[in-house]
A and B are shown apart, each in its own frame.
Chain A
Amino acid sequence: MRQMKVGAIGFLLGSLLLALSWAVRAEDEAPEQFVKRVSVEVLDSIKADKAMRNGDVNRVMALVDTRIMPNLDFVRMTASAVGPAWRQASPEQKTRLQEEFKILLTRTYSGALAQVGDQTVEVKPLRGSAEDKELVVRTEIRNGSEVVQMDYRLTKTPGQGPGWKIYNLNVMGVWLVDTYKTQFASEINAKGLDGLISSLSERNKSNAKK
């Protein structure tokens, strides 16, 4: 009798856990869907905003903060660009590095927004499995006859937001974060982490004047 009770409770608990984990999983988007949705959302908001396309930095910053940043694992992106020195960075240095890196990327690519027109996004079939902790989603951005390949590296964040975050992106074969690794490393070697931070902020200031 007692045995059975334990069994029943066990069964109940088990199914409860199962149901819970299922509920969590149900909220997570499929990775292809996640990439498609974010790309379309971003493209649509750019298309709808003429000021932004003409390079209004405040508008671009607003877009980055509301639509893009929530979908990025930006700590990881910065950490990976900075390399091994990241582990020695103080919390303040980490925050500063992220801030400056974000501004650098935003300012750099806001110039390209002027070219946004009738692009469509096509997500290619997934190679890995949606169960993977990390995977690559490949897309093609088409504008008439022009095709630009853009791939995204995702990491799983179960039960958190859509369940995925982007931590690197590839444009026509070049990984964004990786192109900063060497430059950051040589700054750090020469002038330390604070040197890198000040070089970044100087670069951002001079970009802002343009």
Chain B
Amino acid sequence: MNLRRLSVGLLVGLLLSGCATVQTPDERDPWESMNRSVFSFNEKLDRFILRPVATTYRDVVPNWTRKGVHNFFGNLGDVWSAVNNGLAARRQDTADSISRVFVNTTLGVLGIFDVATELKIERHKADFGTTLGRWGVKPGPYVVLPLLGPGTLREVAALPVDYSANLTNQFTEAATRDTLKVLNVVDTRATYLGASDTAEGAALDAYSFIRDAYLQRQRYIQYDGNPPEPEEPPYEEP
């Protein structure tokens, strides 16, 4: 089967079905109607495949094993964070990230144990999207990607770089590579099991709830935890 043709077909189908009218347009989300259809596609995929798999993984695999898996991918992530913190010339963050990788790869047995955190070496997550942001690239419109979920145009532009730098791609044996990739997805999803249940119960409209929270969080990361306060009209006593 031609996978490429299938996915193109899927995407076109999605785009065509995405003609819902947008009730409350948001200037940060000009492609809302398309985004909404990708979002509902992702929701279905999640409900029928990803969430059940992640739940089983959580219930069947012992805690210490899951922790080891999580730490292993975290360590690979720290390598990429070190590079990106370096690209943005953040000395302390780069130094911390490098120390984390050294400590965890050696003392932590290839990253399975997160010794660095015990030693209070902080994690400073950064990918190429973060780097572009630090270089002054504006986030651009909000985009929901099939499978990958919420992002902005800047993150989408950074994806090829992030993808080619992903260390799981460096394994030459296809079987190992694919296992690692699947495990990575399952581990990530399992981490957010609690959070996604909360979001579902909290929202009248899960789409805009997640979008607003995502964009706020991005802005917060962009400003290193000190975003300028938006101008709010003074509150009048009711």
A94 to B209 Cα, complex, angstroms? 22
A115, CB-defined interface residue at 8 Å? yes
A178, CB-defined interface residue at 8 Å? yes
Q: A173-B225, A179-B216, A189-B24 in contact; A108/B238 too (CB < 8 A)?
A: no
Q: A98-122: which residues lie under 8 A (CB-CB) from chain B?
A: 104-105, 107-109, 111-112, 115
On whether the beta carbons of B117 and A108 are closer than 8 Å, the reply is no
A105 to B203 Cα, complex, angstroms? 10
A34, CB-defined interface residue at 8 Å? no
Chain A hits for B225, CB < 8 A: 149, 173
B217, CB-defined interface residue at 8 Å? yes
**Interface 0/1 of B205-219, CB less than 8 Å to A:** 100110111001101
On whether the beta carbons of A172 and B217 are closer than 8 Å, the reply is yes
- Which listed residue (B117, B204, B235) contacts A187, Cβ 8 A? B204
Q: What residue of chain A has the Cβ atom nearest to residue B214's Cβ? A: A174
A80 to B234 Cα, complex, angstroms? 11
A197 to B11 Cα, complex, angstroms? 37
On whether the beta carbons of A104 and B212 are closer than 8 Å, the reply is no
On whether the beta carbons of A185 and B24 are closer than 8 Å, the reply is yes
Chain A hits for B209, CB < 8 A: 179-180, 182-183
A124 to B201 Cα, complex, angstroms? 31
Query: Which bucket holds chain B's interface residue count?
Result: 20 to 34
Q: A79-B238, A112-B194, A145-B114 in contact; A173/B201 too (CB < 8 A)?
A: no
Q: What residue of chain A has the Cβ atom nearest to residue B118's Cβ? A: A145
B59, CB-defined interface residue at 8 Å? no
- Which listed residue (A115, A182, A189, A210) contacts B201, Cβ 8 A? A210
- Which listed residue (B23, B198, B211, B221) contacts A173, Cβ 8 A? B221
Q: A175-B216, A186-B24 in contact; A75/B238 too (CB < 8 A)?
A: yes
Chain A hits for B212, CB < 8 A: 178-179, 181-182
A172 to B217 Cα, complex, angstroms? 7
A115 to B208 Cα, complex, angstroms? 27
Of the listed stretches A2-10, A25-33, A199-207, chain B binds A199-207
Q: What residue of chain B has the Cβ atom nearest to residue A134's Cβ? A: B235
A175 to B216 Cα, complex, angstroms? 8
Query: Which bucket holds chain A's interface residue count?
Result: 35 or more
Q: What residue of chain A has the Cβ atom nearest to residue B206's Cβ? A: A183
Chain A hits for B208, CB < 8 A: 182-183, 186
On whether the beta carbons of A112 and B204 are closer than 8 Å, the reply is no
A112 to B202 Cα, complex, angstroms? 12
A86, CB-defined interface residue at 8 Å? yes
B171, CB-defined interface residue at 8 Å? no
Chain B hits for A187, CB < 8 A: 204-205
B197, CB-defined interface residue at 8 Å? yes
- Which listed residue (B23, B197, B213) contacts A179, Cβ 8 A? B213
13 extra interchain contacts, Cβ-Cβ under 8 A, other than A108-B201, A182-B208, A186-B24?
A76-B235, A80-B235, A105-B202, A172-B217, A179-B216, A182-B205, A183-B209, A184-B204, A185-B24, A186-B23, A186-B205, A187-B204, A207-B201
Mind listing 20 A-B residue pairs with CB under 8 Å? A76-B238, A79-B235, A79-B238, A94-B238, A104-B202, A108-B198, A111-B194, A111-B201, A172-B217, A173-B217, A173-B219, A174-B213, A178-B212, A181-B212, A182-B26, A183-B204, A183-B205, A183-B208, A184-B204, A185-B24
Chain A residues packing against B (C-beta within 8 Å): 75-76, 79-80, 86-87, 94, 104-105, 107-109, 111-112, 115, 145, 149, 172-175, 178-187, 189-190, 199-200, 203, 207, 210
Chain B residues packing against A (C-beta within 8 Å): 23-24, 26, 114, 117-118, 120, 194, 197-198, 201-205, 208-209, 211-213, 216-217, 219-221, 225, 227, 235, 238
Closest 3 CB pairs of A and B: A173-B220, A145-B117, A186-B24
